[in-house]
């Protein structure tokens, strides 16, 4: 029989009190001090101060001495009780500690409130046992960020660098030391429409409103090349090796080999409006695209002449796309304000496996690297972050994120942190997923001091 630690502790205290009453009958001199050692506080912990008052010079010191002589016996007896109840004595049961910070109490309340609405399945119960912070770990000012659902102005590199496009400029925030630098500034009349790091984190592609793509060496901080050709804004970017795929407002997708002077190697045509989402499958065999025409296209790398599958299930623009890291064929897609659904697809046969009605505009979706969960970011009306179980698709928690809709989001390379940006001109860093091993949890040091920059102020 296994009992919770708190119940075991109460049972043990009751047994000890009973034994001490028997001892009192045999030794009437065991007066108040013995009783004090068995006092139980309201929170279930022993009254340690009463024990400390006994000792040399105390009229009841003989009682304390007698208690010390029975320590070995009590320990042995406690071990027998522990074995009977299936509890380890190594645990600090109902130990006193520092008062938890206010946010932890808020998080516990949030988890409790959510548990009253969510499923009581074992999978959901497991999620409730872990701590999910409901406050951002970092908050940065992002003045001038463009309020446009169809753009992609935020990305996080393998080197823990966060890139954000603010109007004409691109800034880099180093999450390891908190430094901020400006990497790029477009000419007057132009603006940044998309940013995306290469898979190794060494290069950053910047799509512009006028149709050009700038390629920067992030380590050296210098421009490598400029690629022209798109007639209008480049709203989405995705890397596969040396191939940079770019989605344009005219609905076309280009494959660009960044090593070649004539960089365009293929042109994919099927969308009729902004290509606001692009994502390569992890094996680089399938490219998913989402558009303002409400379509999801799956392009097979063996032939770019037409999509392998075209899905028209969504009823609003599809910006949110995410490939599952632990089941390669799974693709999650999220729809805009008139849709508000997340669909899960089998990319091998194009089948729709499941649907999550979220109740809010979906601006981003991410699979967890550390467990079977899904994270979605939202615009109107909730402006929240939501964690879902998979495959049960039950809601674990809603986290209020921004004062206005969450427009841009990106997951850290270790899969634990999320960066979000909104039209309220803030960029926030959240701890969302935790690794299976606590020792693998990484900190986000950053610089807590306030620093002023032209584009971003860290605070």
Per-residue CA distances from 290 to 77, 215, 223, 281, 299 (Å): 67, 23, 29, 14, 11
Q: Which helix (H) or strand (E) holds 124?
A: helix 122-128
Contact between 260 and 271 (Cβ < 8 Å): no
Q: Rounded to whole angstroms, how far apart are CA atoms 149 and 194? A: 12
Predicted confidence band of residue 131 (pLDDT cuts 50, 70, 90)? confident
pLDDT digits (tens, 9 = 90+) for 229-268: 999 999 999 999 999 999 999 999 999 999 999 999 999 9
Q: Is the pLDDT of residue 17 over 70?
A: no
Round to whole Å and give the CA distance between 295 and 81.
Answer: 64
Total count of residues recorded for the chain: 459
The tens digit of pLDDT for each residue in 393-414 reads 999 999 999 999 999 999 999 9
Top-ranked range on mean pLDDT: pick from 19-28, 104-113, 331-340:
331-340
pLDDT at 79: 61
Checking if the pLDDT of 66 tops 90, the result is no
Residue 328 or 5, more confident = 328
Is-cis flag, bond preceding 53, omega within 30? no
The span from the CA of 243 to the CA of 278, in Å, is 13
Residue 64, C-beta contacts closer than 8 angstroms, at least 6 positions apart: 33, 37, 51, 54, 55, 58
Predicted local confidence at residue 434, as pLDDT? 85
Cβ within 8 Å of residue 98, ≥6 positions away: none
Does 446 score more than 80 pLDDT? Answer: no
pLDDT recorded at residue 249:
97
E-assigned strand segments in 37-167: 138-141, 154-156, 161-166
Token pair 């006994």 is found at 54
Whether 20 shows a pLDDT value over 60: the answer reads no
- 240: enclosing H helix or E strand: strand 234-240
How far is residue 227's CA from residue 231's CA, in Å, rounded to a whole number?
A: 12
Cβ distance 206 to 172 under 8 Å? no
The rounded distance, in Å, linking the Cα atoms of 409 and 406 is 8
Structural domains present in the chain: 5-85 (no CATH), 122-440 (2.130.10.10)
Mean pLDDT of 181-205: 97
382-to-231, 294, 398, 402 alpha-carbon distances in Å:
35, 22, 9, 9
Q: Element (H or E) spanning 344, and its range?
A: strand 341-346
CB 402 within 8 A of CB 422: yes
- Place 116 in a pLDDT band, splitting at 50, 70 and 90: very low
CA-to-CA dists, residue 76 to 46, 73, 82, 89, 94, angstroms:
19, 5, 10, 11, 20
Residue 240: its pLDDT value, please? 97
The first and second tokens of residue 126, run together, are 């497991």
**In this predicted structure, what is the pLDDT of residue 154?**
98
Give the tokens for residue 280: 């390569």
Surface-to-core class of residue 101, CB atoms within 10 Å of its CB (0-12 exposed, 13-18 middle, 19+ buried): exposed
Q: How many helices (H) and strands (E) does the chain have?
A: 7, 28
Cα angle, residue 238 at apex, residues 254 and 341 outer, rounded to 5°: 105
Contact in structure between 389 and 361 (CB atoms under 8 Å): no
Instruction: Give the chain's radius of gyration (CA, Å).
Output: 29
DSSP state of 277: E
Query: pLDDT category, 59, cuts 50, 70, 90?
Result: very low
**The pLDDT value given to residue 130:** 76
Return the pLDDT at 374.
97
Condensed to tens digits (0 to 9), the pLDDT of residues 301-324 reads 999 999 999 999 999 999 999 999
- What are 426-443's pLDDT values in tens digits? 999 999 998 876 544 444
Q: Which residue has the tokens 């992890």?
A: 282
Q: Which residues pair with 277 in a beta bridge?
A: 290
Question: Residue 444: its pLDDT value, please?
Answer: 42
Judge whether residue 62 has pLDDT over 50. Answer: no
């Amino acid at each position: 029989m296994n009992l919770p630690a708190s119940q075991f502790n109460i049972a043990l205290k009751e047994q000890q009190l009973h034994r001490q009453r028997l001892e009192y009958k045999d030794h009437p001199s065991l007066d108040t001090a013995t009783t004090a050692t068995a006092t139980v506080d309201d929170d279930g912990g022993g009254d340690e101060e009463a024990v400390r008052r006994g000792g040399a010079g105390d009229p009841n010191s003989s009682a304390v001495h007698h208690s010390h002589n029975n320590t070995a016996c009590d320990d042995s007896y406690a071990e027998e009780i522990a074995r009977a109840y299936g509890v380890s004595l190594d645990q600090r049961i109902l130990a006193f500690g520092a008062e938890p910070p206010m946010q932890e109490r808020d998080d516990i309340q949030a988890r409790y409130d959510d548990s009253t609405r969510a499923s009581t399945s074992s999978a959901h119960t497991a999620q409730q046992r872990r701590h999910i912070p409901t406050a951002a770990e970092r908050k940065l000012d992002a003045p001038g960020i463009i309020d446009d659902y169809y753009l992609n102005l935020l990305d996080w590199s393998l080197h823990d660098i966060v890139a954000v496009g603010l109007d004409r400029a691109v800034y880099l925030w180093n999450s390891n030391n908190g430094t901020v630098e400006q990497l790029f500034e477009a000419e007057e009349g132009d603006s940044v429409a998309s940013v995306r790091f290469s898979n190794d984190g060494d290069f950053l592609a910047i799509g512009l409103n006028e149709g050009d793509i700038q390629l920067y060496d992030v380590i050296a901080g210098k421009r490598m090349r400029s690629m022209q050709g798109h007639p209008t804004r480049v709203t989405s970017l995705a890397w596969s090796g040396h191939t940079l795929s770019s989605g344009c407002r005219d609905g076309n997708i280009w494959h660009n080999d960044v090593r070649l002077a004539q960089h365009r190697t293929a042109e994919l045509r099927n969308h009729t409006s902004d290509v606001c989402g692009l994502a390569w499958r992890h094996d680089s065999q399938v490219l998913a695209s989402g558009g303002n025409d409400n379509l999801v296209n799956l392009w097979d790398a063996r032939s770019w002449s037409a999509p392998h599958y075209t899905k028209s299930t969504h009823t609003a623009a599809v910006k949110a796309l995410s490939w599952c890291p632990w089941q390669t064929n799974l693709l999650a897609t999220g729809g805009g304000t008139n849709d508000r659904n997340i669909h899960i697809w089998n990319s091998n046969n194009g089948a729709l496996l499941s649907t999550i009605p979220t109740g809010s505009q979906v601006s981003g979706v991410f699979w967890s690297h550390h467990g079977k969960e899904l994270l979605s970011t939202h615009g109107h009306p909730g402006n929240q972050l939501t964690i879902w179980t998979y495959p049960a698709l039950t809601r674990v928690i809603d986290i209020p994120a921004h004062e206005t809709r969450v427009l841009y989001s990106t997951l850290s390379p270790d899969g634990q942190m999320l960066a979000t940006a909104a039209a309220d001109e803030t960029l926030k860093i959240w701890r969302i997923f935790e690794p299976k091993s606590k020792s693998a949890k990484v900190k986000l040091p950053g610089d807590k001091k306030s620093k002023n920059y032209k584009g971003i102020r860290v605070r």
